[in-house]
């Protein structure tokens, strides 16, 4: 069964506590937390303070996606805030391998992300060091974008590479994921589906989450 990670970025922030309770009561597995700094991506979201405030409301996995420059400056802050998994971008840190090791040294799971225009070659030599690879199926920075079809081929290639190397990292996909394309992504090799507007913009988010889980 696929892991579903609703993205809090698409939630109604005027009633965030209620949205968190909805997720906690739902069948979702992870809660995806998009951190943006206005530098690596042209948008600003929220930081460790909000995550710390939300942590007592659920025991679900906090899947923290750092879309920030020099993410290594904040690993300890997000660890202390309650992150379970931290994913960083290959081009946001100078020493990718070292940064991934720093995440794991904190006792957290480590992920690496690739943007739509980036090749699997960029992560080939760190695949043995990660727990998750995030394939961005939109350009990072904003919710509600349309799925970029070339991500499907990248997922298939990554799954083949994982099988070839005998590794067990999870393949996560983020961007433009809705019920009508989720099954195709799972068949291509995705293990974790991130969906923001595909969950929160529906009339009944909890029922939508259940429908995702039943695919």
The percentage of the chain sitting over the pLDDT mark of 70, rounded to a whole number, equals: 98
pTM: 0.96
The active-site residue out of 34, 63, 131, 191 is 34
Distance CA(7)–CA(105), nearest Å, equals 26
Question: Is-contact 200 12, C-beta < 8 A?
Answer: yes
Q: What is the pLDDT of residues 66-109, one digit of tens each?
A: 999 999 999 999 999 999 999 999 999 999 999 999 999 999 99
CA 165 from centre of chain? 23
The pLDDT of residue 141 = 73
Query: Out of 29, 37, 174, 191, which one is annotated catalytic?
Result: 174
Question: Would you call 21 a catalytic residue per the annotation?
Answer: no
Chain mean pLDDT for the chain = 95
Rounded to whole angstroms, how far apart are CA atoms 199 and 184? 18
Alpha helices in 4-62 (DSSP H): 16-25, 48-54
Whether 34 is a known active-site residue: answer: yes
Residues in the chain: 215
Query: What pLDDT, in 10s, does the model give residues 169-215?
Result: 999 999 999 999 999 999 999 999 999 999 999 999 999 999 999 98
Short-list 155, 163, 162, 166, CA closest to 189: 155
pLDDT band at 144 (very low <50, low <70, confident <90, very high): low
């Amino acid at each position: 069964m696929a892991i579903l990670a609703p993205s809090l970025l698409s939630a109604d922030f005027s009633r965030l506590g209620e949205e968190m309770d909805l997720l906690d009561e739902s069948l979702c597995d992870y809660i995806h937390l998009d951190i943006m700094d206005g530098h690596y991506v042209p948008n600003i979201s929220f930081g460790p303070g909000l995550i710390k405030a939300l942590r007592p409301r659920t025991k679900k996995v906090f899947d923290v996606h750092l879309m920030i420059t020099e993410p290594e400056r904040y690993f300890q802050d997000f660890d202390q805030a309650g992150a379970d998994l931290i994913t960083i971008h290959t081009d946001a840190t100078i020493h990718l391998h070292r940064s991934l090791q720093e995440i794991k040294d904190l006792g957290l799971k480590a992920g690496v992300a690739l943007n739509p225009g980036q090749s699997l070659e960029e992560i080939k030599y760190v695949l043995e060091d990660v727990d998750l690879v995030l394939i961005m199926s939109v350009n990072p920075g904003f919710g509600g974008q349309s799925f970029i079809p070339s991500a499907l081929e990248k997922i298939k290639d990554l799954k083949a590479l994982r099988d070839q190397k005998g590794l067990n990292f999870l393949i996560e996909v983020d961007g433009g994921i809705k019920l009508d394309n989720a099954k195709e992504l799972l068949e291509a090799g995705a293990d974790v589906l991130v969906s923001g507007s595909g969950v929160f913009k529906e009339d009944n988010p909890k029922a939508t989450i259940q429908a995702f889980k039943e695919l």
